Amino acid sequence: MNRYVMYNFVMVSLLNLMLFVPNILFQYRYHGAVSSLIAAAVIGPLFGIVFIRTITKYPGKGVPEILNENYPRWVTVPAFLFFALMWFSAASITVDAYAVLINRFFNPDANVLVILGVMCVICLYAATRSTLSMLFIMEIMLLLNVPLIVMLLVKAGGSDQMNWDAIRTASNYVQSMPKLAPLAAATFIFTGYLNLSIYNRVLPPNYKFKRGYLLPVFGIGVLATTYFIPIGLHGIDGVSSYLYVWSATSDSLAMEYGFIERVLFVFLILYLNLTLIYTASGWHQAMEMIKSCFPKYKPSIDEHPVPRSNYVIVSVFAVITVAALYLLNEKHLTEFTSYWLIIRMFSEYGLVIWIVVHTLLRRGAA
Amino acid sequence: MRRFCTACVAFIMLSLLMQGCGFKDIDKRFFVVAAGIDRTSNADKPYRITLRLAIPSPKAEPGASKSQLESIDTATIAEGVRLLKGHVDKEIDFGHCKVIVLGESLVQSDYVEALTWMIRRRDIQSIATVAVGKPSAEDVMNANPPSERYPGNSLFLSFGTEGTDSPFTLQMFLFDLERRYTERGLDPFLPVIKRDHMTYMISKVAFLDKQKVKLTLSNEETQMYNQLSTQFKKSSIMATYKGKPIVALLTGIHRSYRIIEQNGQAVIRMKVRLRCILEQAPRGLYNSDWRQIEKAFSDQYSTKAETMLDKIRNTGVDPFGFGLRYRAMHRGSDATWNRWVKLYPNAKFEVRTSVKIDGTGLIK
């Protein structure tokens, strides 16, 4: 079952491009992005491993059950609603951003809301399935997509247009201190472990977390790729002018002897899959959080048939997502995301510390 | 199962909403295979846009390519392209535009607006090739090489490694031009396409600063620049040995450089290692001492390289990226860049070449 933990981690770390993480890092490229990357590479895996080791001590229980058993409702319900909001908004930002991307690159004449609507229907169907099915969907999608994504990243890194002097220049700005916004953006890469707060329900009782070193190794790899490859291809001074910096980066690569010369389209399709699965997973977790607010709710990992409440909650999510894109423009979306990333960092580490301290106190009392 | 069917029906209903949006059949589209932008002398309409539109043809054999040329004078590039839609019966699509030619008149005044337009438009590929058209982009567009298999392909096969591999043809991608336009310490270059009756002649490179063209190299210098900057192997070197010209084909090239500061002056020490096989030389060289020929090659190459580098430096452009290397080797701050701005105009180049002859070809 170890691989299901890793899937969550890999999915979220690869998805950072859709949440404008590179854009925020490039904004601070002269003012602390590199040192933020280093700080994130320490903080991220540390919290990740501590959290996974702690939560797996509660077999079959998610964060809602752990907290509900020990704290009064008036503490837990607002916390769950808040976490639901965090997961839901991340997923919705991603799918909104992707709808805009489709509109820009695939079909500029189509109505962006219709595109988003279709994507939302797919995510609605996937997110309302049971927790177990959700993990299986995730496994299949990642197995299909990640090898190609990694191939593209390696191809980008080995491109002969890569200017290593620009990358060295970028890393020379290491001496400025880390800043909050780039740190929040960089730590997002490691945030996948937090999905266990729901998915821990599925892990078997005898589960033991193994190969924890993969977290820092993979995370730092993704972090370095995300930051340095666009700088190598677009230059340190010019990289921040691109809005969709990784789309531009994949468009800078050519596969002369591939079926499609423009790597951009391969890249967009791969990220479409990744976005859909991330959104479905995010909505599913937000839905489970909201359902945990009801006193009578009994979590089950493979319920059949799908309860009506699932459809109601996720439909509300979908409607809010479409409405958000209708009301906001691209600039609002980016600004909102940078605030979201900062709040996410604090709430994520708050939750980790809460669970860890709770566990330590309980062990001390016992 | 019933729920699944409901979901399917809902999905199909939503898909029906998509009907008629944007998708145009391929035979209702005109694909732009090359675009040219010139500067006119008319102040009201400063741009002349020339588009080469491919006419789809069932045959794909040499000489069977057909294309249509459309040209318009306009105040802004974007409006001009939109106005051109009124000249044709199909939707104009830039998705296959692989070559963009900027007229000499444009790069001699200001290329920035054209570059910004290209990079902002979503359907122009970042891997499109940008070049300078001489005497004008329109003129280059007019050439219709008889060997073309499909429209525009002889123009873009000239670049890159797919078709011909000429040492005089450098390639500049659109995203690279944008990078070099924004980067401090790395300046753009563009290959120069000259029209030669029915075909093209691409044998020179032009160096630009952040606004316009500053210098155009000769053929020989272009080849040397290609060797020194991209370490291009399929090229040759020339030297005079005992009053006779010798040409050698390169089989290996390695170039490295270091920037050293001596008494407030930047010295750029470049080391070039070349391996070659003689291609054109007098008979009987096999039995003479090769070290002397190698020395003649090395000394003459170094001198020529230093002259070329001095020439580039004197115009104030930096296509090699010495400035970027300086920034890469020093502390990241604006002060580093400001120091380099003062250092570069007086920079000294020391090129050390070692040529090694592998053989004399098939005869002695």
Q: Which domains does chain A have, with CATH numbers?
A: 2-365 (1.20.1740)
The answer for B 101-130 residues in CB contact with A (under 8 A) is 122, 125-127
pLDDT at A209: 83
CB proximity list for A307: less than 8 A, separation 6 or greater:
none
State which residue of chain B sits closest to A32, comparing Cα positions.
B332
Type of residue at A291: K
- CB-nearest to B324 from A107, A165, A175 is A165
Mean pLDDT of B214-233: 90
Contact of B229 with chain A, judged by CB distance below 8 Å, is answered with: no
Phi/psi of residue B351, nearest 5 degrees: -105, 125
For residues B208 and B170, give the distance between their C-alpha atoms in angstroms, rounded to a whole number.
14
CB proximity list for A181: less than 8 A, separation 6 or greater:
A24, A27, A28, A338, A341, A342
Between chains, do B3 and A114 touch, taking CB under 8 Å as contact?
A: no
For residues B136 and B178, give the distance between their C-alpha atoms in angstroms, rounded to a whole number.
22
Between chains, do A253 and B127 touch, taking CB under 8 Å as contact?
A: yes
Query: Token pair for residue B357?
Result: 């002859």
Interface residue of B179, B210, B229, B256 to substitute, partner A, most A CBs within 10 Å: B179
- List CB contacts (< 8 A) between B329 and chain A: 168
Q: Is the pLDDT of residue B14 over 70?
A: no
Contact of B14 with chain A, judged by CB distance below 8 Å, is answered with: yes
- CA proximity to A65, closest of A365, A361, A363, A358: A358
To the nearest whole Å, the CA of A250 is away from the closest chain B CA by 9
- CA proximity to B297, closest of B350, B257, B352, B241: B241
CB proximity list for B284: less than 8 A, separation 6 or greater:
B364
Rounded percentage of chain B residues whose pLDDT exceeds 90: 43
Q: Is the pLDDT of residue B111 over 70?
A: yes
Type of residue at A352: V
- List CB contacts (< 8 A) between A156 and chain B: none
pLDDT at B101: 93
| Phi-psi sector, A299: left (phi>0), alpha (psi -120 to 50), beta | beta
pLDDT at A75: 85
- CB-nearest to B183 from A174, A237, A252 is A237
Between chains, do B332 and A175 touch, taking CB under 8 Å as contact?
A: yes
Residue found under tokens 């979590």: A299
pLDDT at A331: 87
For residues A292 and B237, give the distance between their C-alpha atoms in angstroms, rounded to a whole number.
77
To the nearest whole Å, the CA of A49 is away from the closest chain B CA by 34
Could you tell me if A358 and A70 are in contact, meaning their C-beta atoms sit under 8 angstroms apart?
Answer: yes
For residues B163 and B204, give the distance between their C-alpha atoms in angstroms, rounded to a whole number.
18
Between chains, do B175 and A108 touch, taking CB under 8 Å as contact?
A: no
Interface residue of A114, A167, A236 to substitute, partner B, most B CBs within 10 Å: A236
Query: Token pair for residue B71?
Result: 């040209």
- CB-nearest to A108 from B22, B125, B321 is B22
Highest mean pLDDT among A362-366, B9-13, B294-298: B294-298
- CB-nearest to A121 from B11, B122, B183 is B11
Between chains, do B332 and A169 touch, taking CB under 8 Å as contact?
A: yes
Q: Which residue has the higher pLDDT, B66 or A269?
A: A269
Could you tell me if B126 and B40 are in contact, meaning their C-beta atoms sit under 8 angstroms apart?
Answer: no
Residue B173 has what DSSP assignment? B
pLDDT at A153: 84
Between chains, do A237 and B325 touch, taking CB under 8 Å as contact?
A: no
pLDDT at B116: 92
Q: Which residues of B131-159 are buried (b: 16+ CB within 10 A; e: fewer)?
A: bbbbebbbbbbebbbeebebbbbbbbbbb
* Residue A202 CA: distances (Å) to CA of A130, A198, B46, B122: 11, 8, 67, 44
pLDDT at B275: 93
Element (H, E) at B208: strand B199-208
For residues A79 and A61, give the distance between their C-alpha atoms in angstroms, rounded to a whole number.
17
To the nearest whole Å, the CA of B240 is away from the closest chain A CA by 34
State which residue of chain A sits closest to B9, comparing Cα positions.
A121
Mean pLDDT of B285-314: 91
Contact of A312 with chain B, judged by CB distance below 8 Å, is answered with: no
Between chains, do B332 and A173 touch, taking CB under 8 Å as contact?
A: yes
Cβ of B63: how many Cβ atoms within 10 Å? 11
Strand partners, A267: none
Contact of B162 with chain A, judged by CB distance below 8 Å, is answered with: yes
Could you tell me if B327 and B184 are in contact, meaning their C-beta atoms sit under 8 angstroms apart?
Answer: yes
Mean predicted lDDT score pLDDT of chain B: 86
The answer for B 244-303 residues in CB contact with A (under 8 A) is none
CB proximity list for B26: less than 8 A, separation 6 or greater:
B56
Instruction: Please tell me whether residue B60 adopts helix, strand or coil conformation.
Output: coil
pLDDT at B13: 66
Q: Which residue has the higher pLDDT, A346 or B163?
A: A346
State which residue of chain A sits closest to B7, comparing Cα positions.
A125
For residues A201 and A179, give the distance between their C-alpha atoms in angstroms, rounded to a whole number.
36
Contact of B331 with chain A, judged by CB distance below 8 Å, is answered with: yes
Between chains, do B22 and A30 touch, taking CB under 8 Å as contact?
A: no
For residues B44 and B349, give the distance between their C-alpha atoms in angstroms, rounded to a whole number.
46
- List CB contacts (< 8 A) between B182 and chain A: 234-235, 237-238, 241
The answer for A 11-40 residues in CB contact with B (under 8 A) is 30
Residue B100, Cα to own-chain centre: how many angstroms? Answer: 11
To the nearest whole Å, the CA of A268 is away from the closest chain B CA by 14
- CB-nearest to B178 from A117, A238, A261 is A238
Cβ of B345: how many Cβ atoms within 10 Å? 10
Type of residue at A251: D
Domain range B229-359, its CATH number among 3.40.50.10490, 3.30.420.40, 3.40.50.720, 3.30.300.210? 3.30.300.210
Residue B186 has what DSSP assignment? -
Radius of gyration, CA atoms only, chain A: 20
To the nearest whole Å, the CA of A237 is away from the closest chain B CA by 5
- CA proximity to A198, closest of A12, A313, A64, A80: A64
- CA proximity to A121, closest of A279, A274, A11: A279
- List CB contacts (< 8 A) between A111 and chain B: 21
Q: Is the pLDDT of residue B150 over 90?
A: no
ipTM computed for the complex: 0.86
For residues A232 and A169, give the distance between their C-alpha atoms in angstroms, rounded to a whole number.
10
To the nearest whole Å, the CA of B332 is away from the closest chain A CA by 5
State which residue of chain B sits closest to A120, comparing Cα positions.
B11
Residue A250, Cα to own-chain centre: how many angstroms? Answer: 20
| Phi-psi sector, B139: left (phi>0), alpha (psi -120 to 50), beta | alpha
Between chains, do A248 and B175 touch, taking CB under 8 Å as contact?
A: yes
pLDDT at B298: 93
Contact of B321 with chain A, judged by CB distance below 8 Å, is answered with: yes
pLDDT tens, residue by residue, B272-292: 999 999 998 888 888 888 898
Between chains, do B175 and A233 touch, taking CB under 8 Å as contact?
A: yes
CB proximity list for A283: less than 8 A, separation 6 or greater:
A87, A88, A91, A123, A124, A127, A314, A317
Q: Is the pLDDT of residue B203 over 60?
A: yes
Between chains, do A118 and B331 touch, taking CB under 8 Å as contact?
A: no
Strands B244-262 and B236-241: antiparallel
Cβ of A347: how many Cβ atoms within 10 Å? 16
Task: pLDDT tens for chain A, 366 residues: list them.
Answer: 788 888 988 999 988 888 889 999 999 989 889 999 999 999 999 999 999 888 888 888 888 888 888 888 888 889 889 999 999 999 999 999 898 888 888 777 778 888 888 889 889 888 888 888 888 999 999 999 988 888 888 888 888 888 999 999 999 998 888 999 999 999 999 998 888 888 888 888 888 888 888 889 999 999 998 999 999 999 998 898 888 888 888 888 877 776 777 888 888 889 899 999 999 999 999 998 888 888 877 777 777 787 888 888 889 999 999 998 888 888 888 888 889 999 999 999 999 999 899 888 887 766
Strands B129-134 and B189-196: parallel
Strands B47-55 and B265-280: unpaired
For residues B30 and B92, give the distance between their C-alpha atoms in angstroms, rounded to a whole number.
5
CB contacts < 8 Å between A and B, how many?
Answer: 108
pLDDT at B103: 92
Instruction: List the alpha helices (DSSP H) in chain B.
Output: 2-17, 77-84, 104-109, 112-120, 137-142, 153-157, 174-182, 219-230, 290-314, 322-329, 334-343
Could you tell me if A285 and A195 are in contact, meaning their C-beta atoms sit under 8 angstroms apart?
Answer: yes
3-state secondary structure chain A: CHHHHHHHHHHHHHHHHHHCHHHHHHHCCCCCHHHHHHHHHHHHHHHHHHHHHHHCCCCCCCHHHHHHHHCCHHHHHHHHHHHHHHHHHHHHHHHHHHHHHHHHHCCCCCCHHHHHHHHHHHHHHHHCCCHHHHHHHHHHHHHHHHHHHHHHHHHHHCCCCCCHHHHHHHHHHHHCCCCHHHHHHHHHHHHHHHHHHHHCCCCCCCCCCCCCCHHHHHHHHHHHHHHHHHHHHHCCCCHHHCCCHHHHHHHCCECCCCCCCEHHHHHHHHHHHHHHHHHHHHHHHHHHHHHCCCCCCCCCCCCCCCCHHHHHHHHHHHHHHHHHHHHCCHHHHHHHHHHHHHHHHHHHHHHHHHHHHHHHHHHHHC
Residue B19 has what DSSP assignment? T
For residues B130 and B102, give the distance between their C-alpha atoms in angstroms, rounded to a whole number.
7
- Give the dihedral sign, CA A47/A53/A54/A58: positive
- List CB contacts (< 8 A) between B17 and chain A: 114, 117
State which residue of chain B sits closest to A116, comparing Cα positions.
B14
- List CB contacts (< 8 A) between A171 and chain B: 332
Contact of A277 with chain B, judged by CB distance below 8 Å, is answered with: no
Residue found under tokens 């563009």: B190
- CB-nearest to B21 from A104, A110, A170 is A110
Q: Is the pLDDT of residue B18 over 80?
A: no
CB proximity list for B79: less than 8 A, separation 6 or greater:
none
State which residue of chain A sits closest to B331, comparing Cα positions.
A172
Between chains, do A233 and B179 touch, taking CB under 8 Å as contact?
A: yes
Instruction: Please tell me whether residue B137 adopts helix, strand or coil conformation.
Output: helix
